[in-house]
Amino acid sequence: MHRVMVHQANYDNCRVAVDRAFDLFPLEITGKKVLVKPNALRASNPEQGIVTHHAVIRAIIEKLEESSPAEIIVGDNPGMMSYGANEKTFQQTGLMEAAKGHYRNIGSEAVEVDFAPKFLDRISVSRAVLEADVVISVPKFKTHGLTIITGAIKNSYGIIPGALKAKLHQKTGEAVRFSEMLVEVFRLKVPDLCIVDAVLGMEGNGPASNDLRQIGQIMASDNAVALDATMARMMGLDPQGLPFLEMARQTGLGDYNADSIEIVGDLPILSNFKLPPKARTVPTGAGEFFASRIRLRPRADKELCTGCETCVEQCPVSALSMVNDFPEVDPELCIACFCCQEMCPEMAIQLR
Ligand code: SF4
Ligand code: SF4
């Protein structure tokens, strides 16, 4: 039986929920190397809700400092193309200050490991991740255009440094194959504890949309499959319809079935929760929903776009180009990975 904690919290009192998570899921960390991995998707302001809030990371660091591990590292690999967790992301989001001197650019050193040959024989993973004795994953409660939700399992995609993430997007393409690859990455270093920032969540066109949603919870579990399944239920989704959860279950990483999960706390079901858009031509239903991902294409909003060209630089298959200072997609080249949408600083890209 898995356990998932759901604890009411805000950013001023989240330390209480973090303490509760450590009580429910005790970790032996004295003298150990502990990595704390937020979702630091890209440089943004805390109130935009794109990354794990700095208050949650600060609460975790303060808790760890009281428990005397040998070393604490806070790091992530933001972005799709550039190597290294860039300092700009951590500075702007407030994560640098929250890390209290424990920030490390975990993208600066990587180690090659065997991977799933159907995708790539070998891939690089941040050395700090592989060498950590204990990994605490701290995702954000959000939707995602490709995987529908982004939680604990998706947060592990950030153990891969920059440009390789884009290459794997290119290798996998559509959503179901991407989900399979995602589980393979997750398996490389399964987190010991996952603590979700579900105080301010995101719905709609995530993982970088203007649709923020006050949820007021901190969630935690030592099993990422059960935790993501619980997030899915809160969003009104059947976890069985999420391919990455089914693949994780089949791989023996955990169970998403409700009768295998004990909820510690009260589970709120979020009414009328907005999921990412699906192609209009496709009927509803879990399988069709994922099939529709293939038909969606990004389109920039002329009112919001500043012509910065970030989307063009981040596209792993060069499907975007600037035409009259405005990005246009080549639908034949586009693999519907939605990296452009994730990285657009103006949140100007919609899926159509
Ligand atoms: S990243 Fe966004 S703002 Fe920049 S060119 Fe692309 S759509 Fe426009
Ligand atoms: S245009 Fe956007 S969605 Fe299409 S392949 Fe490029 S980054 Fe991915």
CATH number, position 135: 3.40.50.11440
- Residue 19 forms part of a structural domain: yes
Q: Are residues 211 and 312 in the same domain?
A: no
Mean pLDDT by 10 residues, the chain (352 residues): 98 98 97 97 93 98 93 90 72 97 94 94 96 98 91 96 85 86 97 98 89 97 98 95 95 97 96 78 52 75 93 90 93 87 89 76
Of the ligands numbered here, which is closest to the C-alpha atom of 312? Answer: 1
**How many Cα atoms occupy the beta-carbon half-sphere of 225 within 13 Å?**
25
**Euclidean distance between CA atoms 19 and 91, whole angstroms:** 26
Q: Are residues 185 and 317 in the same domain?
A: no
Q: Which atom of ligand 2 is nearest to the CA of 330?
A: 1
- Select from 211, 245, 265 the last residue of a domain: 265
Q: What is the pLDDT of residue 278?
A: 63
Residue 127: exposed, middle, or buried by beta-carbon count in 10 A (0-12, 13-18, 19+)? middle
Tell the residue nearest (CA) to atom 2 of ligand 1.
344
- Select from 209, 243, 265 the last residue of a domain: 265
Q: Are residues 182 and 318 in the same domain?
A: no
Tell the residue nearest (CA) to atom 5 of ligand 2.
334
SS3 of the chain: CEEEEEEECCCCCHHHHHHHHHHHCCCCCECCEEEEEECCCCCCCHHHCCCCCHHHHHHHHHHHHHCCECEEEECCCCCCCCCCCCHHHHHHHCHHHHCCCCECCCCCCEEEEECCCCCCCEEEEEHHHHCCCEEEEECECEEECCCEEECHHHHHHHHCCHHHHHHHHHHHCCHHHHHHHHHHHHHHCCCCEEEEEEEEEECCCCCCCCCEEEEEEEEEECCHHHHHHHHHHHCCCCHHHCHHHHHHHHCCCCCCCHHHEEEEECCCCCCCCCCCCCCCCCCCCHHHHHHHHHHCCEEECCCCCCCCCHHHHHCCCCCEEEECCEEEECCCCCCCCCHHHHHCCCCCEEEC
Phi/psi-derived region of residue 204, left when phi > 0, alpha when psi is between -120 and 50, beta in every other case: left
Q: Are residues 302 and 261 in the same domain?
A: no
Q: Are residues 128 and 199 in the same domain?
A: yes
Does the beta carbon of 328 lie inside 6 Å of ligand 1?
no
Please give the residue range of the domain that contains residue 320: 297-351
Q: Are residues 80 and 190 in the same domain?
A: yes
- Residue 178 forms part of a structural domain: yes
User: Structural domain tally of the chain?
Assistant: 2
- Residue 280 forms part of a structural domain: no
Considering just the CA atoms, what is the radius of gyration of the chain in Å? 19
Q: 335 C-alpha vs ligand 2 centroid, how far in Å? A: 6
Of the ligands numbered here, which is closest to the C-alpha atom of 351? Answer: 2
Q: Are residues 56 and 170 in the same domain?
A: yes
- Residue 284 forms part of a structural domain: no
Q: 317 C-alpha vs ligand 2 centroid, how far in Å? A: 7
Q: Are residues 126 and 48 in the same domain?
A: yes
Q: What is the pLDDT of residue 314?
A: 87
Q: Are residues 345 and 222 in the same domain?
A: no
Does the beta carbon of 128 lie inside 6 Å of ligand 2?
no
- Residue 58 forms part of a structural domain: yes
- Cβ neighbours of residue 26 closer than 8 Å, sequence gap 6 or more: none
Q: Are residues 136 and 188 in the same domain?
A: yes
Q: Are residues 227 and 306 in the same domain?
A: no
Q: Are residues 202 and 245 in the same domain?
A: yes
- Residue 91 forms part of a structural domain: yes
- Residue 102 forms part of a structural domain: yes
Q: 297 C-alpha vs ligand 1 centroid, how far in Å? A: 15
- Residue 283 forms part of a structural domain: no
Q: 217 C-alpha vs ligand 2 centroid, how far in Å? A: 33
